[in-house]
Amino acid sequence: MRMRWSGLLIFLCAFFGYLAAQNLLYWPDPTWRAPESVAAKPNPLADNLRAAAGGKKLFMRNCAECHGKDGTGVPKKHSADLQLPVVQEETDGALFWKITNGNTGRGMPSFSKLPDLERWQLVLFVRSLRPVVKQDSLSKAPPGS
Amino acid sequence: MQLSCIKNLAIVIGSMLLFGCAATFAQESPYFVTYDHHMEEPGNLDIEASTTTDVPRAGQVYYFAPYTEFEYGVTANWTTELYLESDSTWNDSAIFTGWRLENRYRPLKREHIVNPVLYLEYENITEASKIQKEIEGTAPDLTSPNSILQPMKDHELEGKLILSSDLHNWNVAGNFIVAKNFSQTEGVEFGYSVGFFRPLATIASGSNCRFCRENFSAGLELYGGLGSTLDGFGLHDTAHYAAPIVSWLVSDNATLRFSVGAGLTHETNPVLIRFGYSYEVQGISGRIARMFGSKQ
């Protein structure tokens, strides 16, 4: 009998946990802004091409789950499209701050557990995410467009 | 009773393998006892198999205490965990010693110099429990046989204040423990754990190496009891350990952890060996929802 109640308790915790985990709406958070002093920080790895390769590996491990392998976001996770101008126009320092702090109210965890340089590597890789123009759409485009 | 529990556990693990678990990054901190402020990522399930075993003093029993942990990220600032634990004592018996349900909540949205986390746990275990996930009060009974300890039930509520900080690639964390056992007259017990660790490399290489330094972290944990309201708050007759800790990211979704603790007082085992293997499963809630017909 006690086991049955324990099982019910575990099921209820799991069920309500599942409901609470659903981020039903995603919209950009206007309050999620890096302080100006931090946003002005330059990327210490900006000229290090080898570091960018490590950034891709870190992105696939840590970020692709929610943002997709190409950074366009995963609809069911309501995650941000990192190729959008609103993201790409951010400074390196601002991206570093957002990766470091996360935005837990909107489901973005903090990644301060990664060493500083690895977070800068992630910034390098996010910078490299650009919309991919498909060959099909190029061939179908009218001449002169 | 014990057989049915093992059967249930086997069904749960088997089901997870059948669902087709997707892998995700799972570098866990190397801590065994101390908690830091990092939560499980929302929607992910971390399954961990760990053991605690000892090198006994004269008169102490030799035991092997395996436990399984299911850690689920409910939201980015709330993590819940279920523990199932057991004990196998040399020349004695192998028994299921109970379960624990814990919740961790991180109240602050941003990173700060010190990040607090609130922790609440309910334990339904017996006095034969030897996993020593934390030490509170004086010291666990490491001499009596399971036939005496197993009938002594513990219904315990435990709270922790977790303070943790990421400073220049180091993590430093401290936990203060308060526990009340409602089954026995032990008063309110206190304990602590502190620790620090650092990854061995701070920049990731472009290759998918497994043995390179970036996949290893190392540090140290100190933990022990701080007495109780009955025996008095303090270090008298309490157990304390100092334990070097190491973790290795074996694959993108699995981490191995290892610790050899040295007992610092006579109430401890001289050596406490811990080993853990954790495997992280991505988006488990969505998979379960789809099993029940969700089209999401």
Residue A138: which H helix or E strand, with range? helix A135-140
Show Cβ contacts of residue A67 under 8 Å, excluding neighbours closer than 6 positions.
Answer: A73, A74, A79, A80, A81, A82
What pLDDT was estimated at residue A22?
A: 43
Percent of all residues in chain B with a pLDDT value above 90, rounded to a whole number: 69
The residue range of the domain holding B120 is 2-291
Which tens digit of pLDDT belongs to each residue from A106-138? Answer: 888 899 999 999 999 999 999 998 765 555 544
What pLDDT was estimated at residue B22?
A: 39
Average pLDDT, chain B: 88
For residue A97, which residues of chain B lie inside 8 Å, CB to CB?
none
Which tens digit of pLDDT belongs to each residue from A7-28? Answer: 777 777 666 555 444 444 446 7
Residue A83 lies in a domain: yes
B159 in Cβ contact with B119 (< 8 Å): yes
What pLDDT was estimated at residue A74?
A: 84
| Chain A residues with CB within 8 Å of chain B CB | 3, 6, 9-10, 13-14, 17-18, 20-23, 45, 50-51, 53-58, 60-62, 65, 76-77, 100-110, 112-113, 115-118, 121
CATH number at residue B151: 2.40.160.40
Q: What is the mean pLDDT of residues B176-203?
A: 93
- Shortest CA gap A53–chain B (Å): 5
Following DSSP, what letter does each residue of A70-122 receive, concatenated? TSS--GGGT---TTSHHHHTS-HHHHHHHHHH-BGGGTB---TTS-HHHHHHH
Q: Specify the range with the lowest mean pLDDT, choosing from A58-62, A71-75, B223-227.
A: A71-75
Cβ separation of B204 and A101 shorter than 8 Å? no
Q: What is the mean pLDDT of residues B24-45?
A: 84
For residue A5, which residues of chain B lie inside 8 Å, CB to CB?
none
The residue range of the domain holding A74 is 27-131
**Phi, psi (5° rounding) for residue B205?**
-80, 165
Following DSSP, what letter does each residue of B103-161 receive, concatenated? EEE---SS--SSEEEEEEEEEEEETT----SS--BS----SS-HHHHTTSEEEEEEEEE
Which tens digit of pLDDT belongs to each residue from B112-147? Answer: 999 999 999 999 999 999 999 999 988 788 899 999
Instruction: Specify the amino acid at residue B134.
Output: E
Which of B151, B184, B156, B189 has the alpha carbon at shortest distance from B83? B156
Residue A92 lies in a domain: yes
Average pLDDT, chain A: 80
Tally the domains of chain B.
1
Confidence class for position B253, pLDDT limits 50, 70, 90: confident
Exposure string for A42-68, b = 16+ CB within 10 A, e = fewer: ebebeebeebbbbbbbbbbbbbbbbbb
Which tens digit of pLDDT belongs to each residue from B59-100? Answer: 999 999 999 999 999 998 999 999 999 999 999 999 999 999
- The residue that leads in pLDDT, B285 or B151, is B151
Residue B296 lies in a domain: no
Q: What is the mean pLDDT of residues B36-59?
A: 93
The encoded tokens of residue A103 equal: 């935005």
Q: Strand B63-75 vs strand B153-167: parallel, antiparallel, or unpaired?
A: unpaired
Which tens digit of pLDDT belongs to each residue from B146-182? Answer: 999 999 999 999 999 999 999 989 999 999 999 999 9
The encoded tokens of residue B77 equal: 């600032």
Q: How far apart are CA B138 and CA B157, in angstroms?
A: 17
What pLDDT was estimated at residue B243?
A: 97
Distances (CA, A) of B199 to B38, B194, B213, B252: 15, 18, 8, 16
Residue A21 lies in a domain: no
What pLDDT was estimated at residue B106?
A: 94
Which of B248, B236, B287, B278 has the alpha carbon at shortest distance from B22? B287
CATH number at residue A109: 1.10.760.10
Which of B196, B193, B275 has the alpha carbon at shortest distance from B241? B193
For residue B282, which residues of chain A lie inside 8 Å, CB to CB?
65
Residue B42 lies in a domain: yes
Residue A57 lies in a domain: yes
Residue A37 lies in a domain: yes
Q: What is the mean pLDDT of residues B222-241?
A: 90
Q: Name the one residue in this structure whose structure tokens are 């999620």.
A: A32
Residue A9 lies in a domain: no
Residue A144 lies in a domain: no
Tally the domains of chain A.
1
Q: Specify the range with the lowest mean pLDDT, choosing from A71-85, B31-45, B168-182, B204-218.
A: A71-85
